[in-house]
């Protein structure tokens, strides 16, 4: 067992406010918006009988949407995903894991539609931070703590993977880009994606650092990989 110092996000949540819009000061033409223009946060509804349902987060133009997402997952998106390794989130009580939320937040920023998925996520994260701080009265700080981790190492003989060219950054909404690719390339996996199920993960044109969090989550690893 290895031990390493992981940066821990300690969360303190005081009050919850739902469903109200927020209006930030009007930015100048050269400023990047720091807040959403309007936003709604509500407890997730039961969609068990609906077809084609999805969960997680997506960004379509100037709209950030999250479905059936815990507060802890929203904190990880807003504060931790820009790091090379996902950071641990602690505090706030057990409900930050158990209670799921639906979020729809919009900002008038036409330039978002022209950015890649990674660039768009980086632009939106500070706005999600501001939203969580305002609606949930979120306060947090980070600190280093020794923690057990799993280390991914090469097996004897080296890695049995094939190097391929990096995929082009998807423009617009990620899910819509995947749908278009599937229509244009029937039966082919979407470049830059990884899917896991039934004990098997299949990745196409992804970096090892991108694959590790997905594999760790799908295997329900009990510590950081």
Residues 70, 9 within the same domain? yes
Taking only the tens place, the pLDDT of each residue in 120-162 is 888 999 999 999 999 998 888 878 778 788 888 888 888 888 8
Cα distances from 139 to residues 6, 11, 47, 79, 174, in angstroms, run 19, 6, 31, 12, 30
- The answer to whether 216 and 85 have CB atoms below 8 angstroms apart is no
Taking only the tens place, the pLDDT of each residue in 70-105 is 898 898 888 876 554 445 677 777 788 888 999 999
Query: Which domain range does residue 171 map to?
Result: 152-179+186-225
Residues 27, 58 within the same domain? yes
Residues 16, 94 within the same domain? yes
Residues 40, 51 within the same domain? yes
Residues 128, 202 within the same domain? no
Query: Residue 218 is encoded by which pair of tokens?
Result: 């799908």
Residues 33, 102 within the same domain? yes
Residues 6, 32 within the same domain? yes
- The answer to whether 19 and 135 have CB atoms below 8 angstroms apart is no
Cα distances from 58 to residues 38, 77, 132, 157, 175, in angstroms, run 17, 11, 17, 39, 8
**Total of domains in the chain:** 2
């Amino acid at each position: 067992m290895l031990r390493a110092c992981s940066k821990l996000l300690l969360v303190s949540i005081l009050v919850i406010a739902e469903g109200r819009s927020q209006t930030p000061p009007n930015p100048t033409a050269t400023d990047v918006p720091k807040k959403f223009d309007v936003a709604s946060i509500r407890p997730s509804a039961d969609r068990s009988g609906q077809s084609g349902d999805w969960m997680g987060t997506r960004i379509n133009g100037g709209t950030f949407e999250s479905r059936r997402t815990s507060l802890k997952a929203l904190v990880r998106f807003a504060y931790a995903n820009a790091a090379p390794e996902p950071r641990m989130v602690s505090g706030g009580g057990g409900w930050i894991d158990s209670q799921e939320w639906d979020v729809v937040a919009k900002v008038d920023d036409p330039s978002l539609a022209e950015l890649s998925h990674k660039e768009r996520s980086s632009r939106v994260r500070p706005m999600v931070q501001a939203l969580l701080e305002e609606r949930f009265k979120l306060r947090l700080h980070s600190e280093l703590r020794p923690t057990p981790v799993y280390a991914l190492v090469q097996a004897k003989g080296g890695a049995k993977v094939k190097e391929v060219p990096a995929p082009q950054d998807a423009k617009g909404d990620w899910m819509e880009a995947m749908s278009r690719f599937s229509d244009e390339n029937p039966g082919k996996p979407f470049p830059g994606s990884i899917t896991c199920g039934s004990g098997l993960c299949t990745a196409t044109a992804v970096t090892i650092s991108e694959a590790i969090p997905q594999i760790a989550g799908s295997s329900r690893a009990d510590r950081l990989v």
